[in-house]
Every structure is written in structure tokens, then in C-alpha cells.
Amino acid sequence: MPAIRVNTERMNVAVTAGRAAGGARLPRPVAVAIVTAVGLVSAVAIVALWLRAGGVSEVNGGADALTSAGRLTALLGAYLALAAVLLLARIPMLERLAGFGRLAVWHRWAARSCLALLLAHAALTTAGLTLGDRIPLPREAARLISQYPGVITATAGLVLLIGVGVTSTVIARRRLRYETWYFVHLYTYLAIALAFSHQIATGKDFVGDPAARVYWTALYVFTLGALVLFRIALPLARAARHRLRVARVVDEAPGVVSIEMNGRELDRLGAQPGQFFFWRFLTPGRWWQAHPFSLSAPPDGRRLRITVKSSGDFSSGLRDLSPGTRVLAEGPYGSFTAEARRRDRVALIAGGAGITPIRALLETLPARRGDIAVVYQVPHVDEVVFQDELERLARERGADLHFVAGAACDLPRLIPDVAQRDAFVCGPPGMVEATRASLIAAGVPARHIFSERFAL
């Protein structure tokens, strides 16, 4: 019989959450190398166009050096803004190449670097012109805004990007509702459009060089086309094909509901246990919001099920969804699947709401009796979700199942051979890094720990 235990002791190890990662379809070094190579080729082309426009040859003093450096930082900042958008444009090839989790990390890096470069552009350009015109800085700044076409729109765009950056900091994200953060992020598109208008109006590397004009126009058109195709057209086409609707809403625990959806040809979605979709429920007040939730049961071609814990206005209101409500689903995404597996024996580790993909994997992972060990940690015993389902599946699959209530758990004690297993980890924000550290300390190689974050 599998070991089914409820452990209520509190340990000293801090465990946090996040969906476990690493199991992208290509090894991390290969995926990083490919995406980096493509990015560098474009960056080198931009630098070459800057040099062609006199980026170095026309520098004749300190003022010229500052303004020329300001042009280069502007060009690279604009490029990284487009790259950040493309990384989360839901492009299937990119998702297959690197996995959604890595793309989200790269998106954050590109966005932060973009903002730093654009701030440097504003500072360098203003300083260079101030030095060249030999007038006070405030007067030069006022002259730039009032006399140079496109500068005021570029300034507005920069202010918008600063606002987006501020709301994306860890402290702000903890205080903001997801809906507020999502709405503020939409201003990124407006900021990029304003920057493009400035580039058209005053960009020396754009206006005076036909090759640069064609190259930059192609970059913007490609980015816009990817957004329209993969964020709008493809989801609408899939919605028309699959006709997803809410079938029923089931209370699983206090503040936790499962939503079952049915539709047509759902097997054609290609979804796997452990993956997630961005869900959009077409009701007043929700149709414009897309939230990521994992499948909490294996897709069977007839239905899809997600399980959601109340953590905000959107998730709290899902229990009131009516059967028949239309649903748009973007996905499937993520590499937190059986394809990531490298060893016969696995440890499935869940914290709180992270049990949803773990439960789906428990039901479907190919395994012999004893190959699967599940650890499910919750703050309190009454917060366990799917207890009956988990105990039934553990008996059927011959899996060891451990419920742990408390601050943390001693994984090597619960799974003595954890160092010889693959580890899949999922849970509330904060758990993954501490859990990875605990697993690595127990002897699990990093390449055998799989994680993937929802956070954007």
C-alpha cells in the first residue's frame, strides 16, 4: 500500500512556490544560445546602421560624443522594447524552443534593460545638446520639448514605461491587484507607438538612411503582425473551432472552485497534463482579462478542468460563473509535463494551489508502483484540495502520498531516495527557489529539478 500520511509538524526549512521549471523542449544552453544568437544578429545590424549614419565618424568633441551615444542607447532601447513584446507574443515556435517560463524571465530582462537604455538616451542627449548649445540644462530641456518634433510624445512614452516598470517591482506587485497590473501593462503598446512616432520625426538614423528606415519599419511591422496573429486572430479562430463553454462549477474547499468546460474537438488542442492556458471568460467585467491557470485534470478530448483559489476580484468571482458561459483559451503553454522527465522515479512537490498540475501529472505519468512520490504542503490541514482524488490516485498508481501542514517540510525524510529522482515542483509565489535549494542540498542535480513560473 502507498504511504498516505498527514504530517502537521512544523520544520525549519523555508519552502515557497512557483511552478517548477527547466523541462523545456530544448536543453537550456541550446535554447539560450539560439535565442541569443538571433537577438545579437539584430542588435549588431542596429549598431552597424548607427555607425553608417556617423555614430563615430562624425564625433568631433564631447557634445557630439554624448548625443551620438544617446542615439545608440535610444536605438538599442527601442529594439529591446520590441524584443520584450515578442517574447510574450505567444509565438508557438518560441514557446516550443524555450518554454514559457524562460520567455517570461527573458521578457523581464529585456524590459528592464530597455527602460535603462531609454533613460540613458534622455540623459545623454540632453546633456550633449546642453554642452553643445552652451545654455543651462532647464532651458535646453524646455527647448527640446517645445521645438523638436516628436520629443513631447517620446517623453510621454518614457513616462508610461517608467510607470509600467514601477508597477512591475516586487513591492508594487504584492500590493497591486492582478487586474490593475495587467491594465497598466497595456500602456506599453501606447508607449512603443509614441516612441516610433518620435523615431520617424527626429531619428537621424531613421530619417536620413533608406536602409535603416526599411529595417526599422520591418521590425515594427513584424512585432505588430505577431501580436495581431498570435494574441488576437489565433485565439479567436480557436474559439470558433472549439466553442468552449462552462459546463459546471464545483466547490472543492473554502475559497477554491473547479471549473469544468466542454467543447468540440478538444483533443486537437494538443494539451498535456501539467500545462496551462490563459483563460478569458466572456462575461461583463471579465471578457477583457486573461489569467493563467493550469489544467487540474488530464484533458480527455471532451472536457478541460481548472481549479482556482480565490486571491482577487477575478478569481473570487469565478464561482458565480453560469453553465453555458463562453470561454476563450490561449494555449496550451508550459513545459511542466511528462516530456521533461529524465528518470524513472519522480518526486511531485506541491504547495497550496500548486497542486493543480501536480494532480494531473500524478494521474498520467507512466510509472511502476513506487516510482512516484507526492508531497503536498498546505498552511493548515483544512486547506487540502483534492484529498479524496489524490488518495484514490495514489492507491491506483502505487504512489507514496504525503500531506504536510505547516511552514515547511523535510523532503529527504519524506522521500529518502529523493536524490535519485526527478523533482517537479509547483506552489504559491516564493516556494520554488527555496525548494530547489533544499533539493540540491539533498543531492538532486539542478538539471533534474523542473520549474516554470506563471509570473510575468
Residue appearing with cell numbers 467543447: 263
N-terminal to C-terminal alpha carbon distance within the chain: 41
Nearest Cα to Cα of residue 401 among 16, 1, 3 = 3
The whole-model pTM stands at: 0.76
Cα angle 61, 66, 67; round to 5 = 100
CB atoms within 10 A of CB 310: 16
Rounded alpha-carbon distances, angstroms, from residue 320 to 187, 237, 314, 343, 428: 30, 27, 11, 42, 24
Q: What pLDDT, on a 0 to 100 scale, did the predictor assign at position 202?
A: 66
CB atoms within 10 A of CB 180: 14
Q: Which residues pair with 426 in a beta bridge?
A: 350
Tell me how far apart the 2 most distant CA atoms of the chain are, in Å.
Answer: 84
Residues of the chain with pLDDT under 70: 1-28, 170-179, 200-208, 312-313, 407, 429, 452-456
What pLDDT digit, counting tens, does each position of 276-331 carry? Answer: 999 999 988 788 788 889 999 999 889 999 999 877 667 778 888 999 999 999 88
| Distance (Å, whole) CA 369 – CA 100 | 32
- DSSP run (H or E) holding 158: helix 151-167
| Distance (Å, whole) CA 279 – CA 286 | 10
Q: What pLDDT, on a 0 to 100 scale, did the predictor assign at position 117?
A: 94
| Residue 89 DSSP one-character state | S
| Distance (Å, whole) CA 78 – CA 158 | 11
CB atoms within 10 A of CB 406: 16
Alpha-carbon dihedral sign for residues 258, 259, 261, 266: negative
Q: What pLDDT, on a 0 to 100 scale, did the predictor assign at position 244?
A: 95
- DSSP run (H or E) holding 261: strand 256-262
Phi, psi of 331 (to 5 degrees): 150, -165
What pLDDT digit, counting tens, does each position of 203-219 carry? Answer: 666 666 788 888 888 99
| Residue 17 DSSP one-character state | -
Nearest Cα to Cα of residue 160 among 126, 198, 194 = 194
Distance of CA 143 to the CA centre of its chain: 41
